[in-house]
Amino acid sequence: MTAPTHDQPLVTVLIACYNHAAYVEASIMSVLNQTYPNIELLVIDDGSQDDSVTVLSALQARHGFDLQVQENQGLSRTLNAGIARARGTLIVPFGSDDIMLPHRIATQVSYLAEKPEVGACSANVETIDHHGQVMGAREQRHRDLPFRRLEFDDLFLGRKPGPSAATLMFRREALQRVGGFNPEIRLEDIYITLAILRAGYYIDVLGEVLAQYRDHPTNTFKNGRFMIDNVLRTYAEFSDHPDYERVCMRFRNSMFLKFAKNNKPLARETLKQIPLRHWNRKTVRGLFRLLAPRPPQHPS
């Protein structure tokens, strides 16, 4: 990195690691290799049970970033504690399993300059597998989306694709205005983006790839019950919206369809929570999946 100048704001990158020993070195090195010179890196291990602390300690000894090791507090509490210690005016919570492209921070800092109405900036991502290999075109749902400016209803009502958590850069003042992350909600990115939009800021999503999102067996979105519980808990924070019930039922229908084939008990439980008046095409498609006979198992 070149030396920072007075007109380059300090960016604090927060990496909270939990059982990502296999991935966290690539994540940290992608931050250290940024072309932007004025970065503060805070790394927190949140009670990992694997070899993460050993990996992090060796990296910290070589590169000198700020490392804290703590008992498990959960991601939202960990990020709030990191924000309280951060010195940057721009805050980047970053997954310990994802990878930044080298120009990511520089691109977003430049974009946010002179745009005080934008509380957060995001961008597209490229999906990689757990080995770091780029996945096929069918898995690249967030790689080629166009630029979009989001208001609250755009995200809450699903009018436009939302921001990618792997590329979020927040203004510190926006995080402070909404009180930071909600410690009672473990799916942190949906809540914080909705809260910032509700506070009157825009979120702008750039139409270029600035990070690689790692798809692996322990991704949060693959835990169906966790996703359903935490998304609905997030929506409940905005229950005064006139379309609150419709938004919740739209989400339940999507989850019913998603899990009707591979998690039938969760699908049946979800279906019971969808009144007939809220059934739609996804409900019908999910019913076909749910009731379809299993293919015969051939002996090996």
Give pLDDT tens digits for 64-100.
Answer: 999 999 999 999 999 999 999 999 999 999 999 999 9
pTM: 0.91
The pLDDT value given to residue 158:
95
> Phi and psi dihedrals of 209, rounded to 5?
-80, 125
As a whole number, the mean pLDDT across the chain is 91
Choose among 27, 7, 265: nearest CA to 166: 27
Task: List C-alpha distances in Å: 119 to 148, 168, 203, 233.
Answer: 14, 10, 6, 23
The yes-or-no verdict on residue 300 having pLDDT over 60 is no
Task: Say which range, 9-13, 20-24, 78-82, 182-186, has the weakest mean pLDDT.
Answer: 182-186
Neighbours of 278 (CB within 10 A): 15
Comparing 128 with 238, the larger pLDDT belongs to 238
The torsion of the CA quartet 187, 184, 203, 140, rounded to 10 degrees, works out to: 0
* CATH number, domain 11-214, options 3.40.50.300, 1.10.3720.10, 3.90.550.10, 3.40.1640.10: 3.90.550.10
DSSP assignment, residue 134? B
Neighbours of 256 (CB within 10 A): 27
Q: What is the mean pLDDT of residues 191-203?
A: 97
Q: Where are the domains of the chain?
A: 11-214, 242-291
The yes-or-no verdict on residue 295 having pLDDT over 70 is no
The pLDDT value given to residue 1:
45
The pLDDT value given to residue 138:
72
Residue 262, class by beta-carbon neighbours within 10 Å (0-12 exposed, 13-18 middle, 19+ buried)? exposed
